[in-house]
Amino acid sequence: MNEDPTTEKTTEVVETQQVARPTEHNRSVWKATQIIWYIAGVIVTLLLVRAVLALLGANLENAFASFIYALSDPFVAPFRGLLQVGQFQAGVSRLEVETLLAALVYTLIAWGIAKAVALARR
C-alpha cells in the first residue's frame, strides 16, 4: 500500500478543562460583595435623586422631596462645608456639588470594600 505523499495524517488533541466548583467560601464572598454593592446602590441612588430634585428646583415643603432630603441628609452631612462652592443656584434650580461628591465618594468606598472582600478570598 502506497500512501500518497500529499496527504498528511493529523492527530487532533482535545484538552479538557475542569471547571472549579464554587466552594462555600467563594459563595459567601460573592454574597458579601453583592450586599456591599446593593447598599452602595441604594445610598448613591438616593443621593442622585436628591441632586436631580435640587436641579429641578423641587419644593422642599413637598412630602416626597422632604422625605428624600431627610433620608439623604445624613450621607451628605460629612461633606457640607468641604468645598467653598457649596451649591450653584439659578432661579429655583440648585446644583449641589457636595451631594454629587458624596455619591462619588460612597461609590469609591464601596468599590474599595468589595475589592478588599475579594482579596480576602485568595
Give the C-alpha separation, 30 to 77, whole Å.
Answer: 31
Q: Say if pTM beats, i.e. exceeds, 0.85.
A: no
pLDDT at 44 over 80: yes
Give the mean pLDDT of the chain: 85
- Over range 18-22, report the average pLDDT: 54
In terms of Cα–Cα distance, which of 39, 69, 37 is closest to 53? 69
pLDDT tens track for 106-115: 999 999 999 9
Alpha-carbon distances of 119 from 5, 70, 122, rounded to whole Å:
57, 36, 6
